[in-house]
Structure formats: structure tokens, C-alpha cells
Structure 1
């Protein structure tokens, strides 16, 4: 892995982490295309640079993160389902992460859903995070578990989950951003722990690459979140649906035509 790989993957992470298009899916395909996906450090890198992305949420919504203890309890309740299922299904999730075809299929199916989600949930009753109940937070947390299938998109799963519970598009998107903080922090911590348990030790060069990757992901995510919220309020999800259908369709077509897209 060199600095060019770092820049490309970090930009992809920053752009896609909070959009309903699957950051993991995009990085699986990108690392596979660059021929670096089988490296254990690369697999860790694609998870660890999420820290830079989630820091952008904390900075952008700084006041919201320090307004009340109730806010933290709601995030904890929403986080519990993915923590439990992530622990129980860890090995199966890792196996799915090695299949580009899975990414293609879930991108395609998720794209079809996004074409209609604005029509399905067009009568929101909840406009602010403060009005989200603990039960609603838990239900959104279960939707987040769907994102354990690569290509689904954690953002898409939680936003659609929120809208199904009568949240407005903006409220659902923002709660999805907030929920990303404990979820992605836990995922990164687990990946780092597994990395060390397997006997790996970071070299000075790898530490430098991680720092650069996180900084780039942070800056790009700051811009992406602002742009996404503004776009979402005006246009909705349809364009993201078509994007997913096109990208997913290309991946499926390449796989069926005999191209080797597997990342191992």
C-alpha cells in the first residue's frame, strides 16, 4: 500500500460513509481493483479510517453531542442490536466482506428501494432528534443490523429505518450520523484488537498511512455531510437509488461475464 492508495481509499470513505451508497462496498471494490485487498493491513485500514469520518460528525454537531444525557442513552439503545449481532455473527460478516458479488447484489436491491422510499414515507411526524423515543431508537438500531451485509449501507439502512418510524428525511439522516459514532468506533476498536491478537504490529510507515487516511477522510466527510443534508432536503433519495442500481448492475454484469472480482 502506498500514499496513492491511501488518498483514494480515504476520499472514498469520506464521500460515501454518510451517503446511502455503502462506503464498505465501494472500498471493497476499489481495493480489489487496485490489487491490494488481500493485505491484512488494508482490511484494517478501510475500517480504521472511519474514525476520521465520525470525528467530522462530532465537530459539525458539537453542541448536539453535549446537550443532554438522554441523547447518549438513545444512541446506546440504538447501538445495542448491532453490537449483539455483530459479536454473534462476526465470522459470517468477515466472509461476506470478501465477496464483490454480494456488494453488487445489495447495491442493486438497495437502489431499487431508494427509488420509492420518498413515496412510501412521505408523512413524517418527527422533525427533531429530541422527539425520537427510546423505542424508535431501538427499532432504528435493528435496521442498522442490515448493514452487516456489505453493500447495504449503514447510512441507507438507518435512514430508511428512521423514515419508517415517521422521522423526516433530515431527522432520520442526522440520527443516522449520530448513531455512526458509537457504531463505527466499536467496529474500529474490535478490528484493531483482532489485528493485534493475530500477531500483527504496526510499522512506523503504517502508522503514518493511518494518520494521513484519517485526516483526509475527516476533511472530505465534513464537506460530504453538509452537501448531503442540503441535497436531501431538496431532492430526496432517487438519485442515490439510480446510482446504486448502475454501480451494482455493472458489478453483477462483470462477475457473470467471468471477471474475477473476489477480494481474496
Structure 2
């Protein structure tokens, strides 16, 4: 992977990681269009630059992440991560079976149809209860304050997030829809999705860097950090990739929250459907 290619992939990661359009799917598409070799370093790079993206969340919501007098926040993030333990057990199998442009095209298309209707499914107005620690809600009542996010709801949203292991589904879309299904307002569901991304993506990056075994020539086994330190080119690509992903993700998060408050998910559904159809056409024509 060259320097220019690393920057393009990082821009794609930063733009798409927190939008409900699938960062993994878009990186697979971009790599395919650019003709980037699908080697072990490329796969590692696409996971490792998530570190830059999650730092954007920490910086933008630093008051939330460093509010140590409210340990419930960290506990609920931990509970939301628990289902991912099951997901990690099958990660390599899913990656081997489903990492293709065709899978991305299909999941983009199906997910786009879902996003077209998700605002209608959850169009009831947000209601704010005076009791911020209420655990019982009347039918149809939506919640906004994070103190009302129970451990049970955080755990269920974590199971929704597992769907994103399928390329093209979108971790952001799955966890936001899961949050709305648990009667969170779409704005808070999106923000909790950002918060949950930090430990989730950090764990995925740490696993890829320090625990996962990468077979560079079919037999030789390396750790992820060894692949990065293997050459100056890899080191520069990793460093600049994370910086670019960080800067772009800050812009993308601010845009998404402001847009979501006004317009909802419909435009993202339309975008996914258009991209999915185009990809299926390119695959059928033999270009991908």
C-alpha cells in the first residue's frame, strides 16, 4: 500500500465510520477500485486506522469520557461490549466467508431499504420524564437522558452491534437502530453508538495489533505491530492514516449529529441503495 492509497483509505474510514453506510464496506470497495492488493498489511491497516477515528469521539465528547464521578457511564459501555465476546469468536470465519464486494453490495442495498423506513417506525416524539433514573417506561415513550439507559438496554444494543461483523451492514447503523428499538431518541441513539464505538473499536484494533496471527506468506506468522514495523512505508502509512482518519472523523461526526436532528436517516438509505445497485451492476459487467 502506497502513501497516497493510505490517505484515501483513511479519508474513507473517517467519513464513513460514524455514518450508517458501513466503513468496512466502503474501504473494501475503495481498495477494489484502486486495485490495492488484499494482503495482510492492507487488512490490518483497515482495522488499525480506526484508532484515529475513535480518538475523534473522545476529543469531541471529552467531558463525557472523563467524568469520573459517574462510573455508570463506563459500566454501561462495558455491558454493551459483552456480546462482542461472542462475535470475536467467529470474526475470522465471517471475514473469510463474507469479505467480498458482492456481500457489501447486497448488505448496502438491504440496509438502505431499512433506513428508508426507520424514521417512520420510530417517529413518536421524544418525551422527557422528570425522573432521570426511571427504569419503567410507558409503551411508546422514548427516552433522551443517558441516565435512563439501563444496563439491559445497553446489553441488547451490544447484540445489535454484532450484525456489523457482516461487511456492509454498518456498526453505526446497527447500534443506532438497536438503540431506537430500545426506545432511545435517534439523537441519543446515535451518540451512544459513538460512545460504544470507542471500547469496541479499540478492542478490535488491539486484537489485530497484538493478538491476532497474520500469515504473510501462508506460513510465516506475525503480530500486527510487527507488520507495521516491517518497513518505513508501513510505519508512515499507519501514522498518517490515523491522523487523517482522526481529522476527517471529527468533521463527519459534527455533520451527522446536526443533520440527523433535522432530517433523519432517509438520505443515507437512498445513498446505500444507489451504491448497492451500482456495485451489483459493476459486478455483473465484470468490472469488480
TM-score norm. by structure 1 comes to 0.94
Counterpart in the other structure of 2:30: 30
What is the rounded CA distance, in whole Å, between the counterparts of 2:46 and 2:78 in structure 1?
Answer: 24
Indicate if the aligned counterparts of 1:29 and 1:100 stay in contact, CA closer than 8 A: yes
Which of 76, 79, 102 in structure 1 is aligned with 2:78?
Answer: 76
What is the rounded CA distance, in whole Å, between the counterparts of 2:25 and 2:163 in structure 1?
Answer: 14
Structure exhibiting the larger radius of gyration computed from Cα positions: 2
Change in 2 beyond 3 A, CA 1:56/1:245: same
Q: Relative to total residues, which structure has the larger helix share, 1 or 2?
A: 1
Unaligned runs of 5+ in 1: none
Alignment of 1:115-154 (within 5 A): 115-123=116-124, 124=126, 125-154=142-171
Verify: 1:231 aligned to 2:259, yes or no.
yes
Root-mean-square deviation (CA, aligned residues, Å) is 1.4
Unaligned runs of 5+ in 2: 127-141, 216-220
Counterpart in the other structure of 1:183: 200
Deviations along 1:49-82, whole A, 9 cap, x unmatched? 0000000000000011122211011001111112
Deviation above 3 Å: which 4+ runs of structure 1? none
Aligned length: 259
Deviations along 1:172-199, whole A, 9 cap, x unmatched? 0000000000110111111113256722
Alignment of 1:168-247 (within 5 A): 168-192=185-209, 193-195=211-213, 198-199=221-222, 200-201=226-227, 202=229, 203-247=231-275
Verify: 1:156 aligned to 2:173, yes or no.
yes
